[in-house]
Structure 1
């Protein structure tokens, strides 16, 4: 492992959604936009729902790059790591729910040296993640 950072799993909805949920019980009644299985985000959400004996309702599986397109419509909740919503996400609103954390890791094969462009990219990625997310103890 070259780099690891803990990231909160957050739920976001369209900024002007009149039916924005405030609890997990409200959230499961709406369409959930989720990353593909098996991911840490899916596990964190599943654990949060099981704790309260809830089942997710309608779900759509998509990659992070598609979230902005589908989240623009009301009645949809995207559950992804916080890094998906950093930067240009003015049309979304973070919902006040604790869904757990995931660990983002950068891995590389053992005993294989990294080429310089890969090292430079990794350095930029580490700085971006470290500066964008609040540090936790």
Structure 2
């Protein structure tokens, strides 16, 4: 079976093929996971749900990382293991459970953001998006 570190190095570009920033952030999260305990030396089929739970607890307890940010780590791990399952036809991968997070931060658009959104939507192929945006902006 394939070593997890070797698999990450070989396949990271295919797993996160969206933007360079997303690729960098996701691989950085996986490397933090690999640096935890002896994960870097394990085979893919040796990683268990307990390894991931211990890692998430460690992030929270020692680094003080919020549940929302830990969910980003879980997401990177989930994407990695789902890709590995498909690529290697693994019979089983760790079950990764996300924590429900209540977002208490209210977000408001600035005037320049609203202007940019309206300009973008004005030329969009789906003409209904601009009126829907305007309704949302006026009704909350």
* TM-score of the pair, normalised by structure 1: 0.28
Choose between structure 1 and 2: higher strand proportion.
1
Q: Could you say which structure has the greater relative contact order, defined with CA pairs below 8 angstroms and 6 or more residues apart?
A: 1
Choose between structure 1 and 2: higher helix proportion.
2
* TM-score of the pair, normalised by structure 2: 0.27
| Bigger Cα Rg | 2
